[in-house]
Structure 1
Amino acid sequence: MTESVFRETTAEPRTQSVPLSHLSLELGHLYMEDFEGGPGRLRRHFERVRPWADAVRADAAAQAGGKRPRISTCFLIDDYFTRFSTPAAVLPVLLAEAERAGLVIDYLARESACAVADKIPLAESVANRLVQSPPPGSDGRRPPVGQSGWLANGERTPEARTQQAMRTAGAWQPPRETAARRHSVFVDVELWDDEGGRRTWSCPFLAAVWQLARLGLLRNEGEAVLLPQARKPGEFPAEWDELAPLIQLNDSAAAFCAYRTCSVLPSRFLPVEHGVRVVLDQTDVHAGALGQVAERSAKEGIKVPDSVADRVSYVFYTGS
């Protein structure tokens, strides 16, 4: 059995390039309870998204210096944590409500594809590229992220090993963010669990894979992954597994991958997306893909942040 893994650029004879838009604009990422609320719930979501999406487009146009920016839209649907209804029942309603709000969804992705797409274990591959930086003073008692499944943005509160140690321990020490600006905002993100002998990836980790995909930075042995497939004629299938991982719904859409991403999401996603930044800040992203983005953005005269996490932006709206 051949295991698909990401490799260092020096071991790769070739890194496949991908087309790049200026901006990938996510119009939503909803869960089962959102769809159970019926068309009215979806309608309210897209009505809230529309003015923010317009503002993001206007900002992208301003940043393009008078040129028309290439902007593609996408939507991520959760079929990973809960299988509900069918694509044939859900997706026509979703697309109709987006259109009713004046929005066009160019690309539709399944969240399960952020775990495995076309038999390639994307989440596992990204997990293998995590580079945890031990904070100063670490004593090695905490297992590495590959064993624990937890990733922090700094130094955790020290733990006493024994009851005797607890009796002789000094004053309590707080956790500390590595890049704190005077005061810390410490985050410890659970990336997966192995309950029942089966690994389940967390929402923040899958969302980090999703961001890397939208930024065009995922590769498998140098080959691009999670590429959009054209929608098949006719109705959507009756089973989620029969739906392609990433579908292009709009034939005239700009490229799925982009130099930057922006997601318009309900405010309940804010802690999840904070976790995404923690993951992105500690991921050894494929150097060949990074080099291609740098070269092409320079030719277009587009400034792209060196930090991958800084290429990602959000609009969070409150209410339902």
Structure 2
Amino acid sequence: MTGAVFRETAADPRTQAVPLSHLSLEIGHLYLEDFEAGPAQLRRHFAQVRPWAEAARATAAAGPDGRRPRISTCFLVDDYFTRFSSPAELVPMLLAEADRAGLVIDYLARESSCAVTGGTPVAEAVAGRIVESPPPGSYGPRPPAAETGWLANGERSPVARAPQAMQRAAAWQPPAETAARRHSVFLDAELWSEDPGGRRLWSCPFLAAVWQLARLGLLRAAGEPVLVPRAHTGGPFPDDWDDLPALIRLNPRADPFAAYRTCSVLPSRFLPVEHAVRVILDQTEVDRAALDQVADRSARERTPVPASVADRISYVFYAGP
């Protein structure tokens, strides 16, 4: 006789849901070179962003039931690859230039929080969920991404080996995209590098993939949401980036940070980075409970969401540096 197996409810990790907007609209991503160019560069950026942001809002508003869509805006500042200026100096300037262009930044995030948040190794956890899609006919001759730190969207060119005596060298073969449409657009993305001490430095595309998962409300750590917004108290901003919350809500009336879909308005230099983001997301096993929560909520709101996580993100790339 087989005995029944009982498990306490508390033993099962519970995945906490997060509030969701219809659209998360990213209106900027600031690096050192942008800041060094001064307020004029931010002014030009926001002037380019505004018409596309308005178009994204109009598209989101064209829903079947005519209800006001929930749309939140966000801005990402690089404090991971380079530490520059300070929140006390940069954030007021950023908000002033956005306001000058008629834009509101609801949420401000630090890029370092896509690597580690509150002691949680977020990037490392996402890297552990990568499931590589083997190209047709391949038998795993290449080391996995977990070892190499590289992830491709297909099959790389075979490694050329010196021919043995009396044998001809093998002919060169091109790489091949797994889901090619007639012709391949092959991409091999570096996920991280390591310094001489073995410390891992996450790549810009990989952190951007983590950022997209956060904006889609799909990041969890032991069932708890990652990158939870903290409200700005209204006082002065700190002098050190480490003293600024990982994700801060600047607009008290903002719709939720996470959303069913995301749209990012960025300079065209980000296009190759975001191509790599899609390759990474297509091969990441996202938390199933979080996916189910979004699917259930979107169905109740009659807001269709693509099954593919990568298809939930969209972009506008404007010409410029």
Q: Which residue matches 1:183? A: 183
Query: What is the SS of the residue equivalent to 2:207?
Result: helix
Matching residue's letter, 1:304: V
Q: Which residue matches 2:229? A: 228
Q: Which residue matches 1:202? A: 203
Counterparts of 1:99 and 1:168, CA distance in 2: 67
1:248-273: CA deviations, max 9, x gaps?
00000000000000000000000000
- Cα shift at 1:12: 4.3
Number of residue-to-residue matches in the alignment: 310
Q: Which residue matches 2:310? A: 309
Q: Which residue matches 1:53? A: 53
1:23-58: CA deviations, max 9, x gaps?
000001121000111110000000000000000000
Q: Which residue matches 1:7? A: none
- Matching of residues 28-177 of structure 1 within 5 Å: 28-63=28-63, 65-164=65-164, 168-177=168-177
1:12–1:221: 8 Å Cα contact kept in structure 2?
no
Counterparts of 2:65 and 2:317, CA distance in 1: 26
Counterparts of 2:225 and 2:264, CA distance in 1: 23
2:60–2:69: 8 Å Cα contact kept in structure 1?
yes
Matching residue's letter, 1:219: R
2:25–2:262: 8 Å Cα contact kept in structure 1?
yes
1:115–1:201: 8 Å Cα contact kept in structure 2?
yes
Change beyond 3 A, Cα 1:39–1:176: same
Counterparts of 1:165 and 1:173, CA distance in 2: 22
1:153–1:278: 8 Å Cα contact kept in structure 2?
yes
Matching residue's letter, 1:300: E
- Higher relative CO (CA 8 A, sep ≥ 6), structure 1 or 2? 1
Matching residue's letter, 1:301: R
Query: What is the SS of the residue equivalent to 1:164?
Result: coil
Counterparts of 1:70 and 1:47, CA distance in 2: 23
Query: What is the SS of the residue equivalent to 2:69?
Result: coil
1:160–1:166: 8 Å Cα contact kept in structure 2?
no
Q: Which residue matches 2:242? A: 241
1:262-295: CA deviations, max 9, x gaps?
0000000000000000000000000000000000
Counterparts of 1:139 and 1:158, CA distance in 2: 13
- Cα shift at 1:231: 1.1
Counterparts of 1:177 and 1:165, CA distance in 2: 33
Counterparts of 2:241 and 2:116, CA distance in 1: 14
Deviates more, 1:161-170 or 1:263-272: 161-170
After superposing on structure 2, the runs of 4+ consecutive aligned residues of structure 1 that deviate more than 4 Å are: none
Counterparts of 1:66 and 1:214, CA distance in 2: 24
Deviates more, 1:85-94 or 1:154-163: 154-163
- Cα shift at 1:244: 0.5
Counterparts of 2:22 and 2:205, CA distance in 1: 24
- Contiguous gaps of at least 5 residues in structure 1: 1-10
- Cα shift at 1:313: 0.2
Richer in helix (by share): 1
Q: TM-score scaled by structure 1? A: 0.94
Counterparts of 1:165 and 1:212, CA distance in 2: 52
2:160–2:170: 8 Å Cα contact kept in structure 1?
no
Matching residue's letter, 2:247: L
Counterparts of 1:186 and 1:64, CA distance in 2: 38
2:13–2:222: 8 Å Cα contact kept in structure 1?
no
- Cα shift at 1:154: 0.4
Matching residue's letter, 1:273: E
2:161–2:169: 8 Å Cα contact kept in structure 1?
no
1:71–1:254: 8 Å Cα contact kept in structure 2?
yes
Deviates more, 1:156-165 or 1:64-73: 156-165
Same amino acid, percent of matched pairs: 71
